[in-house]
Structure 1
Amino acid sequence: MLHTGDFKMDQFPLDGRITDLRSFARLGEEGLDLLLVDSTNAEVPGFMVSERDLVPAIEKVFRETTGRVIVSSFASHVHRIQQVLDAAHAQGRKVAFVGRSMVRNMKIATDLSYLDVPDGLVVDLPKLNRLPANKITLICTGSQGEPLAALSRMASGEHQIKVGDGDTVLMASSLIPGNENAIYRVINGLVDKGARVVHKGNAKVHVSGHASAGELVYCYNILEPANVLPVHGESRHLRANADLAIRTGVPRDRVLIAENGSVIDLYDGVAQITGSVPIELIYVDGSAVGGVTEDSLAERRLLANEGVLTVIAIVDPDTGLLVDDVDFIGRGFAHEANAFDSLAKAIGKTLTRESDVKVASRENIEKRIVQESARWAKQTLGRQPLIVPVVVDG
């Protein structure tokens, strides 16, 4: 059984360590029962571009920038960081890492000799800030617009590093689907502050880390798996990968399209989907894990979008009539100081009109208050806030 994880077959890797194709071939000769294979780029024809092809574009950014170069990348992308270090070193710049995960990962990569750092190239941030702008390179987190990451905070002006005219921000990463708005918000924030932003959309500064169709076909042909399970992708990616496997000769009934929760049995060299286990999202609420229901989430969305209106009414428990003015506390929406006067009158009329034994129960009084308040809020404010009735015996 072989699980590829995220992979591609770069024939010209920066560190010179190419995929061990001989070992792959031996696996195929020995017999591979099940291949679980990365599907992200199964729809992309050909072979993925080498990391080395990015070097000219990255070097150009460093050559042309007269101010600071600020680079954002995945903290796990050691090869991309190596390219940036090499370009900075060639231009006589010093480098500082910004962001806890970036600092931690680069220390580990250096200790394990995955990262080649010339002596004196990397310095701490206080020392770097004493250098002229054209000698400064910052490598930080936040390539996907994460709100608490260094680059996002620079874009919003909340970070100690202030971005401005003359700075170039190099976003050396892909745009992960779903993060578009966050990333564009960061780019716009940086541009508004005077920075030049270089990204995949306007320069060749990133290539995917996932195998394209040509590499996947090569894997199928050299490994000759008995069964294939496409993984890591959306439905369209899994289907495209499955089609590639079938075209290389894997029997159609040996190519499985599984869903989250699918149970797969591998017995006597045959893989089959035999059932499923229930799966659900596990919500984390502060220190509590799980226990958050869809109802409570719906209530939170209501609070966030429409606000909350608390209605405090002092009533006679026998008659259900008001014995004092109704008080209101509105949160999450704009309103005038006397905005609730008309609602107070409406609640008073409703309770007076229906002051009988049934209405006098606390449950029915609260129900009438909620109904009248919701009707008023929709007509007057154009909103549907959460109504919280507080009935006090007077």
Structure 2
Amino acid sequence: MSHPHPELAEPAPLVDGGVRVIPLGGLGEIGRNMAVLEHLGKLLVLDCGVLFPEEHHPGVDLILPDFGPVQDRLDDIVAVVLTHGHEDHIGAVPYLLRLRPDIPVVGSQLTLALVEAKLKEHRIAPLTLGVREGDREQLGPFDCEFVAVNHSIPDALAVFVRTSGGTILHTGDFKMDQLPLDGRITDLRAFARFGEEGVDLFMTDSTNAHVPGFTTPERQITPAIERVFHQARRRIIVASFASHVHRVQQVLDAATGSGRKVALVGRSMVRNMRIAADLGYLHVPDGVLVDLGRLTQLPDDEQVLICTGSQGEPMAALSRMANGDHRIDVGEGDTVLLASSLIPGNENAVHRVINGLTRRGAVVVHKENALVHVSGHASAGELLYCYNIVRPRNVLPVHGEWRHLVANGDLAVATGVPRENVVLAEDGVVVDLVDGVARIAGAVDCGYVYVDGSLVGATDETLLKDRRILRDEGFVTIIVVRDSSTGAIAAGPEIQTRGFAEGEEAFERVRPRLEDALREAQRNGVQDAYQLQQIMRRTVGSFVGSTLRRRPMIIPLVIDA
């Protein structure tokens, strides 16, 4: 738990008739998207996603939103509304439903199918309500109308929330591709209609707010993918997000045109594409999709593999191929296509994978050397269109790092939104909409919640710091055996180390200091084992810091015998 802004107090109770927005993830970061709306004593959750760990989160599997601010009000939640099926918007749903399994989950057909498959693994049978664009549902005091938006996954929705205290338009993740692969464009007519009705608070995607112009249409990358297939001499390995149905469709079509067969690699990829195909969102040409065992029996120039790992995840299929510990042995003449953009923070991991594959002889095609991926988020030009159409009274930029949120706010101001009506907030900063005015009302505790193996929330920053020290600095164990009857040192100190290039012989220089310190403690009548351990830790820590320039974990042990 952490307080994002010490200068902000806990928010006062919401005034009668007002609407409160509590962002619990996605503001100040890419991922972990979750916001809670409060009105007339009830709560509506918008998205509930995860953040993937970075290098400074050793041992962590996932990072969840902090449910603490609403955990004692679970019975007040009327529904969880999901805008689309990406992990950073749905991945934390099972962990919320563990706390109250009967919270209704609302979303489009594909989004709910992906969530239900995830919940099945957690042995949760959810209450679901399927919606589509144009639908309008009353969820407690929240009147929600759903709007089609274009994104890098089918069936994405924006939601317009009407309440007696004001209206809120939340775009979810979106862009304005005018020639989308599935023919489903962002419904700007609905946005304009909401603008005519009056939008009191516009919560809009900020991810590409700092990128000028317009996001490249998906159709424009098809020639680049086909060119890769035409030029490849041996196998083609495509790495993509496990939910990127459109990209997989383009690869299937290119494989069909070049006479190749395709196998899906990775449990999440297989599961998601099967769901998309069953629901009609993915159109699989006859005979092109085979299992991996059959594919490997074909000539190399007839093979295409689609796998996960485009972000350099260490356990994903592509990373293991780059390290040579996967059943697919990538080698000279293979072509690897990274069909995704880099999530901020993953650059080093992705470059390691590219270097590993290149070292093994593969030709690696990625966004930096070919037009093989386009973003799923609206760039500045598209956001300007939206602001001019919606004409919101207040703006709360969402979904982005701080630089993205600021850029989005500046766009709003450029279109005429008063700067004082643009609210820049981070996770945990509470925003109240009262009488048509949005203002920061305070802040709540809102930290990272770590999924660490089977444990949720047990790992904290102290434990992660210990892991980072063990990983980066090594550790030292000091063992002393003491005569239980006399208190005299009977054996030791024995020093053992791990993670030091210098070797244990370097620590022989500290042994005399340690022995002197223990004798001095004995002369001063120190008998408490904990005090002796602290003396041992300080003595060795001072030596290592001054001579080796290291700050390892030091574990002193006093054994009475």
TM-score (norm 1): 0.92
Q: Highest CA radius of gyration, 1 or 2?
A: 1
Return the match for 2:435 from 260, 263, 268: 268
Any conservation in 1 of the 2:495–2:504 contact (CA below 8 Å)? Answer: no
Q: Which deviates further from its counterpart, 19-28 or 154-163?
A: 19-28
* Pair 312,5 (structure 1): closer, same or farther in 2 beyond 3 Å: same
- Match runs of 1:139-154 below 5 Å: 139-154=306-321
Any conservation in 2 of the 1:263–1:273 contact (CA below 8 Å)? Answer: yes
* Pair 311,55 (structure 1): closer, same or farther in 2 beyond 3 Å: same
**Deviation by residue 1:298-346 (Cα, 9 ceiling, x = unmatched):** 3333222222222222234676543334333323335657555554444
Aligned to 2:102: none
Aligned to 2:514: 347
Taking the aligned partners of 2:407 and 2:505, their CA distance within structure 1 comes to: 62
Q: Which deviates further from its counterpart, 181-190 or 356-365?
A: 356-365
Aligned to 1:392: 559
Taking the aligned partners of 1:180 and 1:293, their CA distance within structure 2 comes to: 25
Which SS does the other structure have where 2:559 is aligned?
Answer: strand
* Pair 49,342 (structure 1): closer, same or farther in 2 beyond 3 Å: closer
Q: Which deviates further from its counterpart, 230-239 or 64-73?
A: 230-239
Question: Once the 2 structures are TM-superposed, how far is the Cα of residue 354 of structure 1 from its aligned partner?
Answer: 5.4
Taking the aligned partners of 2:481 and 2:512, their CA distance within structure 1 comes to: 14
Any conservation in 1 of the 2:521–2:532 contact (CA below 8 Å)? Answer: no
Q: Which deviates further from its counterpart, 317-326 or 75-84?
A: 317-326
**Deviation by residue 1:87-118 (Cα, 9 ceiling, x = unmatched):** 11111111111111111111111112111111
Note if 1:89 corresponds to 2:256: yes
* Pair 118,353 (structure 1): closer, same or farther in 2 beyond 3 Å: closer
Note if 1:131 corresponds to 2:309: no
Note if 1:67 corresponds to 2:234: yes
Any conservation in 2 of the 1:358–1:364 contact (CA below 8 Å)? Answer: no
Note if 1:17 corresponds to 2:170: no
Q: Which deviates further from its counterpart, 298-307 or 187-196?
A: 298-307
Return the match for 1:217 from 373, 377, 384: 384
Aligned to 1:307: 474
Higher strand share: 2
Aligned to 1:104: 271
Which SS does the other structure have where 2:269 is aligned?
Answer: helix
- Match runs of 1:217-256 below 5 Å: 217-256=384-423
Amino acid at match of 2:470: L
Taking the aligned partners of 2:382 and 2:220, their CA distance within structure 1 comes to: 18
Taking the aligned partners of 1:366 and 1:375, their CA distance within structure 2 comes to: 14
Amino acid at match of 1:114: Y
Taking the aligned partners of 1:315 and 1:230, their CA distance within structure 2 comes to: 63
**Deviation by residue 1:16-45 (Cα, 9 ceiling, x = unmatched):** 222223222222222222211111111222
Aligned to 1:172: 339
Any conservation in 1 of the 2:178–2:217 contact (CA below 8 Å)? Answer: yes
Return the match for 2:362 from 181, 189, 195: 195
Return the match for 1:278 from 419, 440, 445: 445
Which SS does the other structure have where 1:66 is aligned?
Answer: coil
Any conservation in 2 of the 1:343–1:373 contact (CA below 8 Å)? Answer: yes
**Deviation by residue 1:139-173 (Cα, 9 ceiling, x = unmatched):** 11111101111111111111111111121001111
Question: Once the 2 structures are TM-superposed, how far is the Cα of residue 376 of structure 1 from its aligned partner?
Answer: 4.0
Taking the aligned partners of 1:338 and 1:243, their CA distance within structure 2 comes to: 60
Taking the aligned partners of 2:242 and 2:291, their CA distance within structure 1 comes to: 17
Q: Which deviates further from its counterpart, 6-15 or 245-254?
A: 245-254
| Structure 1 residues not aligned, in runs of 5+ | none
Aligned to 2:499: 332
Amino acid at match of 1:183: V
Aligned to 2:246: 79
Taking the aligned partners of 2:407 and 2:523, their CA distance within structure 1 comes to: 69
**Deviation by residue 1:204-228 (Cα, 9 ceiling, x = unmatched):** 1111111111111111122222222
TM-score (norm 2): 0.66
Higher helix share: 1
Note if 1:52 corresponds to 2:219: yes
Taking the aligned partners of 1:186 and 1:208, their CA distance within structure 2 comes to: 21
